[in-house]
């Protein structure tokens, strides 16, 4: 759909309030650029949590239990300080239990498989029993420096990016090893398993690595940096760049900016997509909230 553009001298305000019901009437979302204000026809604001989170980096939607899990770094992203924790948040933005699981350092990407929540934590992968609400296993990654994002294939293989070393790790059959390393992986972060391939957000593009052959090719070019990476159906992807930009690419791989909070220094870290609700969840890192937006399908 066409974007409506108005001069920057016109002040456009979006009142961001906390809503008790995620199905409340969506508010209009604006996209701010250097020279103009653009209304987004793609995202509408739903709710924002209170600012009680502590450097939230990733959000994971548990469709079985209808709950959100938020990883909180609560310190510096590479420090082994024991301050990290996981929060439980309701689907309307209420923080149910701030410190649901503790004992982590700087937890980042998360993934769910068969009752377990997997969490990337600097140089190890932690497995949390969702029913018990506790860490049940830790998988060490000997030379990892900055384990970051996670995605899991249909057989339960857990892929984890190491942004600092340019490696992709995999947990397979209870063994955690390097799956693939390539000079093409420039600061790899966002991961998404898609049609037999692992999509990897790296540098200024999204690469596609064939899971069987490990052949690498460019999937989407000129993306800007990639933090969170999700499919929103119909060969469309949504991705964030941490600084506060969120883009959507369509089936023709054309890229559209749909949210920009960078001017307010509000980050967009490892985003999540709730397919059954057409809802995007954005952890705002140093802003210490999670924000939810509805995707408007025209």
How large is the C-alpha radius of gyration of the chain? 18
The whole-model pTM stands at 0.88
In angstroms, the CA 96 to CA 90 distance is 6
Domain 52-287 homologous superfamily, CATH: TolB, C-terminal domain (2.120.10.30)
Q: Rounded to an integer, what distance in angstroms lies between the CA atom of residue 15 and that of residue 226? A: 28
Q: How many helices (H) and strands (E) does the chain have?
A: 0, 26
**Tokens 């309701």 sit at which residue?**
90
Domain boundaries, the chain: 52-287
Q: How high is the pLDDT of residue 41?
A: 67
State residue 297's pLDDT score: 86
Q: Is the dihedral of CA 128, 102, 111, 170 positive or negative?
A: negative
Render each residue's pLDDT in the chain as its tens digit; 298 residues: 333 333 333 323 333 332 333 334 455 554 544 333 344 568 999 999 999 999 999 999 999 999 999 999 999 999 999 999 999 999 999 999 999 999 999 999 999 999 999 999 999 999 999 999 999 999 999 999 999 999 999 999 999 999 999 999 999 999 999 999 999 999 999 999 999 999 999 989 999 999 999 999 999 999 999 999 999 998 999 999 999 999 999 999 999 999 999 999 999 999 999 999 999 999 999 999 999 999 998 7
Nearest CA-CA partner of 175 in 142, 201, 146? 142
Is the CB of residue 130 less than 8 Å from the CB of residue 89?
no
């Amino acid at each position: 759909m066409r974007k409506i553009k108005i001069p920057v001298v016109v002040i456009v305000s979006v009142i961001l309030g906390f809503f008790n019901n995620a199905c409340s009437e969506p508010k209009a979302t604006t996209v701010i650029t250097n020279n103009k204000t653009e209304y987004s026809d793609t995202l509408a604001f739903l709710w924002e949590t209170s600012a009680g989170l502590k450097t939230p980096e990733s959000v994971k939607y548990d469709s079985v239990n209808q709950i959100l899990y938020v990883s909180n770094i609560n310190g510096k992203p590479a420090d082994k300080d024991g301050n990290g924790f996981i929060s439980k948040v309701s689907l309307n933005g209420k923080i149910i239990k701030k410190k649901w699981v503790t004992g982590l350092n700087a937890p980042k990407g998360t993934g769910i498989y068969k009752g377990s929540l997997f969490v990337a934590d600097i140089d190890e992968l932690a497995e949390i029993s969702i029913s018990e609400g506790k860490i049940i296993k830790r998988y060490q990654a000997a030379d990892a420096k900055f384990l970051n994002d996670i995605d899991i294939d249909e057989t339960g293989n857990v892929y984890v990016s190491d942004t600092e070393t340019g490696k992709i790790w995999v947990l397979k059959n209870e063994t955690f090893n390097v799956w693939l390393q390539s000079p093409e992986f420039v600061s790899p972060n966002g991961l998404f398993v898609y049609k037999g391939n692992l999509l990897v957000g790296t540098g200024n593009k999204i690469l596609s690595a064939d899971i069987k052959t490990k052949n690498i090719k460019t999937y989407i070019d000129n993306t800007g940096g990639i933090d969170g990476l999700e499919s929103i159906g119909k060969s469309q992807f949504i991705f964030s760049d941490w600084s506060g930009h969120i883009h959507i690419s369509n089936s023709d791989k054309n890229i559209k900016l749909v949210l920009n909070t960078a001017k307010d220094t509000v980050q967009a870290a490892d985003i999540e997509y709730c397919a059954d609700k057409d809802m995007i969840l954005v952890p705002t890192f140093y802003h210490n909230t999670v924000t939810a937006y509805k995707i408007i399908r025209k």
